[in-house]
Amino acid sequence: MLPLTETVTHLENTLFGMGNPLLDISAVVDKDFLDKFGLKPNDQILAEDKHKALFEEIVKRNKVEYHAGGSTLNSVKIAQWMIQKPHKVATFFGCIGTDQFGEILKKKAEEAHVDAHYYEQNEEPTGTCAACITGDNRSLVANLAAANCYKKEKHLDLDSNWELVKKAKVYYIAGFFLTVSPESILKVAKHASDNNKIFCMNLSAPFISQFFKEPLMMIMPYVDILFGNETEAATFAKELGFETDDIAEIARKTQNLPKENAKRQRVVVFTQGKDDTVATKVTMFPVLDIDQNDIVDTNGAGDAFVGGFLSALVQEDGLVECIRAGHYAANVIIRRVGCTFPEKPDFH
């Protein structure tokens, strides 16, 4: 039997995430606010010029909350929380500005025990994401700013950073990063595929399949585990001409898309809110029951599901256990504002 310290420390830096680090600014708003900025109640979009005033207005609302966010960072943070010890199971790369929001993101990653290595630049301020909450719905408007400035050759390619990539066994990158640096994703995905490691990706939002289909399909042959929700799955199916709106069938067809590393069959996992999670080989997994009154904020539920899933995956658990951990994490997170969590998980 190995001494405990050895069995525990082997998990350090085994999970690698790369994405858009954003400071989430969340506030409860009303329908008038959504209408004013042309927002749907439940959506994720990139900010345009017409949304500039939204960021100025939302911070003036009462009860504004600031949380370290960005989809991939949320997920690796949750994975670390589920595992607890050792610290620094997850490495995270992304770009921030040299400003106060950037300092907050650094501090928050440190508090979450994530080993974050940021590319810092001073041309753009740290990215923000306005979470406009109405009832159970959340409309996310991301102003990427600095997050959009990630440079492969100035960060990922540096020897000390690439060593951290090589150290990992499981990789997770949300589809959102396709809008920033597909070449960085490709380099990491190829490394995972060539070394028979596990590369995971998320469809992230309908607009990714619609407007970034080319980079998405460039990476798809390297994807071992693909996550998404029912809306993203439907949009993806439509863009690929699958001609079905049956979620299990979409999962099957996605699983059978061309794949580089034949040693691993692709696994597709689609969540459906309160309905069963669909995973290939097509099985339905019921989510944990929750009283509607206990749902505080569904923002971060998808990220939390992935985080829980990844926490079991890096510990080499099977699919059923990974999904159980994902459902647990999501169930905890929707009872709280933002992608936040209690001190310790109660998961066995």
Place of tokens 């995972």: 192
Which residues carry out catalysis?
Answer: 303
Compute the average pLDDT of residues 23-40. Answer: 94
| Phi, psi (degrees; rounded to nearest 5) at 339 | -90, 70
Compute the average pLDDT of residues 334-343. Answer: 80
Q: pTM of the predicted model, to two decimals? A: 0.90
Q: What is the pLDDT of residue 6?
A: 40
Ranges of each domain in the chain: 15-22+69-125+145-334
CATH classification for the domain delimited by 15-22+69-125+145-334, as one of 3.90.1170.40, 2.60.120.620, 3.40.1190.20, 3.40.30.10: 3.40.1190.20
Q: What is the pLDDT of residue 313?
A: 96
Per-residue pLDDT of 119-168, as tens digits, reads: 999 999 999 999 998 887 889 999 999 999 999 999 999 999 999 999 99
Q: Give the C-alpha separation, 31 to 102, whole Å.
A: 31
- Confidence tier at 69 by pLDDT (50, 70, 90): confident
Q: Say if residues 83 and 6 touch (Cβ distance below 8 Å).
A: no
Q: What is the pLDDT of residue 343?
A: 84
Q: Say if residues 127 and 148 touch (Cβ distance below 8 Å).
A: yes
How buried is 338 (Cβ within 10 angstroms: 0-12 exposed, 13-18 middle, 19+ buried)?
Answer: buried
Q: What is the pLDDT of residue 2?
A: 37
Q: Give the C-alpha separation, 131 to 329, whole Å.
A: 20
Per-residue pLDDT of 71-84, as tens digits, reads: 999 999 999 999 99
- Residue 7: CB partners within 8 Å, gap ≥ 6? none
Mean pLDDT of the chain: 92
Q: What is the pLDDT of residue 165?
A: 98
What 35-40 contacts at long range (C-beta under 8 Å, 24+ apart), as own/partner pairs, is 37/141, 39/132, 39/139, 39/141, 40/139
Output the six-digit token pair for 219: 């990476």
Per-residue pLDDT of 275-317, as tens digits, reads: 999 999 657 777 888 888 887 767 788 999 999 999 999 999 9
Task: Determine what percent of the chain is predicted with pLDDT higher than 90.
Answer: 78
Per-residue pLDDT of 191-249, as tens digits, reads: 999 999 999 999 999 999 999 999 999 999 999 999 999 999 999 999 999 999 999 99
Q: What is the pLDDT of residue 124?
A: 97
- Confidence tier at 341 by pLDDT (50, 70, 90): confident
SS3 296: coil
